[in-house]
Structure 1
Amino acid sequence: MSLSSMNAHKLVHLDLKGAAPRIEYLQVLFPFLKKFGATGLLVEYEDMFPYSGPLEELAQRYAYSKDNIGEFLQLAKDNCLTVIPLIQTFGHFEFVLKHEKFRSLCELEGYPSALCPSNPDSLTAISMIIDQVVDAHPAIQHLHIGGDEVYHLGVCDRCKKKMVMENLTVQQLFFSHVRAVCLYIKDKYPHLTIIMWDDMLRFLELPILAESGLGNLVEIMIWHYLPSFLLPPDIWDRFSKVFPNIWVASAFKGATGACMYATNIMYHIDNHLTWLSVLERVKSKFENIRGIAVTGWQRYDHYAVLCELLPQALPSLVTCLSVIYRGTFTADIHSHVTQQLKFQGLLPLNPFDGKDIPICDFPGSDIYTDTIELLRLESAYEDFLHSEGRLSWMNEYHMRRNFTNPMHLEALLAQAVRLLSGLKQLHKKFQTSLKAIYFPDTVDEWCSVYLNPKIEKMTDIVELARNQDRNSGLQT
């Protein structure tokens, strides 16, 4: 089954809570997305939105300006891409709760993941965020309110007291907050269709779901990123009786490990093929399957390190969009994507296989090839560090005591120097490729997390070994 045959939206998720691209990159990215069948963008601004007034401190140093948002929206319009902002309104609220001004809204003191639904100031803060985002997006028809992974709920004294006084379960406390957010939006912006994630609802029994009152307020977006589905088998029957219109969400990156930096495309192809099979089976249960959001997470939460960068994962994204559009994955589709991305040789579907660095040309392809080179260098680096020779004859303990055998050390040092030189050269290449697309904070974080520790480690080893050489009279 092809989602295109159902006239459903194909949304590309832009997770901007890490490695937000410069507007100049979006100028070449958006036409690319349109070319491969995308019809919209699910945009999670988080701290990249230009909040003002009482919310001013929520905007990070390199946040988009109001003019940038205008450019963003015009680019989307020019490429026939619907924009749906995603605003977290319950869990994943770290970018707000980390600030001293808003810490009193935490459900669990000292843990900024979720806000307290019983604190009246919580809805006030959310309302201000919603107002500013909606005001900056006058043409939108949909608003996503998040609502996923609320890990702390009903644990603070205020919530416990409310649950006792109003005879509420934890689930009903969740419903109460979501309803309050939705009713605020419905009252002030009646033209907006509200979307929320499904995971806080997916295991609830039908009577509880029906009594939640959410069926008339939201359309749920059911997310699942694994190739083999682990959703409750009766989820479609339960949801169809409460939510006549649904969305689904797959992933093209950012779903295989919080510090994974290279994308296994085949993993995500399998996820999409499974989704297409499931939707074909369950589509008759719903009035409408509105569309699919192809998510690309940039951090697992506000405090996690950056994972797979968007340009690096672009081959995965366009392959997944092609699978959605065609309803299958074939050798012809693989060949077509290869040609469109100008790969010399077939697009590798698993970057962990093979040793060659691919040659290709697409928006941000330098970051893609640099990442594959990093993958290869990291493998060589780990092999060297844990090799028997290095651990036996180039051990730091012995080198600090000038207790080494030149016969073995000389060859190991040459190997270490080559690795260090390769890492330093790759660092320079990343500096260039990243600066062309990203702001300085992203460049610094990426290099500091994924390159600098390896360079520092190899530098220490080389310097120790060279000191041995000088003391032993060897020439290096």
Structure 2
Amino acid sequence: MEDTQRLVHLDLKGAPPKVTYFEKIFPLMKKWGATGLLIEYEDMFPYWGDITDIASEFAYSKECIASILQLAEDNGLSVIPLVQSIGHFEFVLKLEKFRSLREVPNYPMALCPSNSDSLLAVCMMIDQVIELHPGIRSFHIGADEVYHLGVCERCKIRMLEENLTPQQLFLLHIKAVLDHIKENYPNISCIMWDDMLRHTELPLLINSSLGDLVEPMVWHYLTSFRLPPDIWDKYSKVFPNIWIASAFKGATGANVYATNIAYHVDNHTMWLNVMAKERSKFKKVQGCALTGWQRYDHYAVLCELLPQALPSLGVCLLTLQQGIFSAEIHATVSRDLNFVSLLPLNPYQRGPIPPCQFPGSEIYCAMLAFLQLDATYEELVHDERVMTWMNDYMIERKFSNPVHIEPILAQSSLILESLTKIHPQIEGALREVFYNNAVEEWLKVFVEPKIKKISDIVEKAKSQLSNT
């Protein structure tokens, strides 16, 4: 896919890297074949005026946005901003000020498409993002995974009066968003995620008039093809141009923190095979966005961080550019990131972590070391010895045999020592790239609960032994 665009998706939800980190990694992205960035700010954009509350206290400043755009330009990377327009709207709908826009009163996920203020809020957000991105040629309106449609009273009344289905409510709202962009920014083309269109009947899709307004981005992160078999024929009858979206991280588990590169190589290989077969049905396959999700949604914990997944990004970009994964690609990315030997493609296969040096390599090495330590921790916590001879009932009765407790104490003490030692290592590495809120979250979610749990085992083991 050498003649198409390759966009690196930057998911900034709640934990944006420092701008100085982008300065270090944009040249690598360019070297590996990236042509642009798909930037999903969510609440990290500095909204102002009537929607200033949407911006997180940790949001980038306008000056930061300008710096990112300049760095992208310096490295020949185009920028496509992404603003969600109906679903995944938690970062807005969690606020009391915007609660009335919810489709389901208790769920801050989807906008009500029948509330005129919903469109107003979305358009205000789009206008502000475009204002701070002068000269952009494309804009992404999100629109994926809208789990609640046509369920509020306002929508039910509208569907009855206008003889509409929930799917038509979605299409009408999306068209209104796209019309706003077309009328006010005629030189900007629009993109949307495709999943809400996949099962839409062809006549309905044709009558929606979306074919002239937007290019769908077909996303699929698995290693085998599981999309509707008629998807390409149907889309080709409506949309002249399409995009695809793969993943280089953040697609194998909501709380996974280490990237299985081999899995994502297989995903890209799958996409290359599919596109070789299907691309002739379209005027153009515009390109591929390599998604790198940082959270599964606004309320989810952080998953794989960008510095940890930089080796995966390099391998996937070059695979996409060259049309095949090869030993040469593996060796090239290993050299670019200064690995003393070939970088591991699957960190879940235990083994030594090769020394390396690249922007964020301290995070990479710390995460892989923690992964191995985490596995040892889980083995002990779920060890039948602990469940049998150190369960709460035995501890309450002070009923124990030292021959079983002593090995548990020895092993748990070693794990506690290792966890206590790696905590400041991870903290220091994270602070080089991320702001304090992201550092605190990662440690409190992934490290500190394990320290607390293993400390409890150590103390109970010592107490048991003192009673024998």
In 1: Cα distance, 2:143 partner to 2:343 partner:
37
Matched, 1:375 2:399: no
Matched, 1:161 2:157: yes
Give the TM-score, by structure 2 length.
0.98
- Residue number among 347, 362, 382 corresponding to 2:358 in the alignment: 362
User: Any unmatched runs of 5+ in structure 1?
Assistant: none
Matched, 1:15 2:16: no
- The superposition leaves residues 394-433 of structure 1 with CA deviations (integer Å, 9 ceiling, x where unpaired) of 3343234432222332232111110001011111111100
Partner of 1:432: 428
State the 1:260 CA deviation.
1.1
SS of structure 2 residue aligned to 1:373: helix
In 2: Cα distance, 1:308 partner to 1:17 partner:
12
In 1: Cα distance, 2:358 partner to 2:322 partner:
22
In 2: Cα distance, 1:332 partner to 1:80 partner:
25
- Residue number among 222, 229, 232 corresponding to 1:226 in the alignment: 222
- Residues 409 and 458 of structure 2 are in contact (CA less than 8 Å); yes or no, is this contact kept in structure 1? yes
Structure 1 stretch 461-470 or stretch 304-313: which is displaced more?
461-470
Matched, 1:145 2:138: no
In 1: Cα distance, 2:286 partner to 2:136 partner:
16
Partner of 1:197: 193
In 1: Cα distance, 2:77 partner to 2:294 partner:
21
In 1: Cα distance, 2:383 partner to 2:185 partner:
63
Structure 1 stretch 360-369 or stretch 395-404: which is displaced more?
395-404
State the 1:459 CA deviation.
0.8
In 1: Cα distance, 2:192 partner to 2:378 partner:
42
- The superposition leaves residues 348-405 of structure 1 with CA deviations (integer Å, 9 ceiling, x where unpaired) of 1111102322321111111111111111111111111222322333334323443222
- The superposition leaves residues 174-217 of structure 1 with CA deviations (integer Å, 9 ceiling, x where unpaired) of 11101111111111111110111111111222212111110011
Matched, 1:88 2:84: yes
Amino acid paired to 1:442: A
In 1: Cα distance, 2:219 partner to 2:338 partner:
32
Amino acid paired to 1:44: E
In 1: Cα distance, 2:226 partner to 2:463 partner:
56
Matched, 1:281 2:257: no
Identical pairs, percent: 57
Matched, 1:175 2:171: yes
In 2: Cα distance, 1:282 partner to 1:288 partner:
11
Partner of 2:318: 322
- Residues 216 and 242 of structure 2 are in contact (CA less than 8 Å); yes or no, is this contact kept in structure 1? yes
In 2: Cα distance, 1:15 partner to 1:101 partner:
25
In 1: Cα distance, 2:331 partner to 2:188 partner:
41
Partner of 2:250: 254
What does 1:51-450 align with in structure 2 at a 5 Å threshold?
51-450=47-446
In 2: Cα distance, 1:461 partner to 1:108 partner:
44
State the 1:45 CA deviation.
0.2
Amino acid paired to 1:445: E
- Residues 400 and 464 of structure 1 are in contact (CA less than 8 Å); yes or no, is this contact kept in structure 2? no
Amino acid paired to 1:60: S
State the 1:341 CA deviation.
1.6
In 2: Cα distance, 1:299 partner to 1:281 partner:
32
State the 1:471 CA deviation.
4.3
Matched, 1:462 2:448: no
In 2: Cα distance, 1:175 partner to 1:241 partner:
17
- Residues 370 and 422 of structure 2 are in contact (CA less than 8 Å); yes or no, is this contact kept in structure 1? yes
SS of structure 2 residue aligned to 1:451: helix
In 2: Cα distance, 1:119 partner to 1:215 partner:
25
SS of structure 1 residue aligned to 2:108: strand
Partner of 1:453: 449
- Residues 396 and 464 of structure 1 are in contact (CA less than 8 Å); yes or no, is this contact kept in structure 2? no
State the 1:38 CA deviation.
0.5
Amino acid paired to 2:276: E
State the 1:165 CA deviation.
1.2
Amino acid paired to 2:438: T
Amino acid paired to 2:372: R
SS of structure 2 residue aligned to 1:243: coil
In 1: Cα distance, 2:323 partner to 2:299 partner:
37
Tell me the number of residue pairs that the alignment of Structure 1 and Structure 2 aligns. 468
